[in-house]
């Protein structure tokens, strides 16, 4: 659970600019987002090969080449480790979510971005708002810190999904 100093449900946008990684703050950031959703800006120093869990690795093997322009989304099903991935074409852009088109420059960046989106999707469900959609809005390269390590910023749009 989030420490008591973490405000709950108050933010439309959370900037996680902690380097080299903000991973320890992801749960707090998800808790801070309003029940109506918002945007997470996640900074991290990412190795060239990126990082991915087994679920993300399986997804990555089914994706088209790295230059493909597709929407990447995860949907939480309300329970931990029960997150569905959906890849949509431009004509299926979710209502109210613009700019979800991402061009992947490097495979490691894509691997990292999908892993972060998946991890955030699993952290978002809460009492009263169990189902969420997490969409990769943007991936930005800030600078290189060392050979094969890049400072990236991932913009994730998080919104609740009504079921029924």
Within a domain: 23: yes
Within a domain: 8: no
Within a domain: 121: yes
Within a domain: 148: yes
| C-alpha span between 33 and 31 (Å, rounded) | 6
Identify the residue whose tokens are 């998080």: 158
Per the structure, how many domains does the chain have? 1
Report the SS3 class of residue 55: helix
pLDDT at residue 74, as a whole number: 64
pLDDT at residue 129, as a whole number: 85
Within a domain: 26: yes
Closest CA to 116 of 124, 128, 106: 124
**In this structure, what token pair is assigned to residue 21?**
């990684």
Within a domain: 58: yes
Q: What is the pLDDT of residues 57-72, one digit of tens each?
A: 777 776 655 444 444 5
pLDDT at residue 73, as a whole number: 64
pLDDT at residue 14, as a whole number: 96
**Measured torsion, CA atoms of residues 47, 121, 71, 89, in degrees rounded to the nearest 10:** 140
pLDDT at residue 76, as a whole number: 62
Within a domain: 87: yes
pLDDT at residue 10, as a whole number: 94
Closest CA to 21 of 152, 157, 141: 152
Residues of the chain with pLDDT under 70: 1-5, 62-105, 163-164
Within a domain: 45: yes
């Amino acid at each position: 659970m989030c420490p008591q100093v973490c405000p709950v449900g108050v933010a439309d946008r959370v900037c996680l600019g902690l380097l080299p990684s903000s991973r320890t703050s992801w749960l707090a950031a998800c808790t801070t987002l309003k029940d109506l959703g918002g945007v997470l800006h996640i900074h991290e120093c990412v190795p060239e090969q990126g990082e991915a869990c087994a679920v993300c690795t399986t997804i990555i093997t089914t994706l088209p080449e790295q230059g493909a322009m597709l929407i990447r989304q995860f949907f939480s099903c309300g329970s931990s480790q029960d997150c569905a991935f959906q890849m949509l074409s431009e004509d299926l852009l979710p209502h109210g979510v613009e700019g979800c088109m991402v061009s992947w420059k490097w495979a490691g960046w894509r691997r990292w971005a999908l892993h972060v989106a998946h991890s955030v999707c699993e952290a978002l469900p809460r009492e009263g708002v169990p189902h969420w959609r997490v969409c990769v809005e943007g991936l930005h390269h800030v600078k290189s810190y060392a050979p094969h390590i890049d400072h990236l910023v991932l913009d994730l749009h998080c919104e609740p999904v009504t079921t029924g």
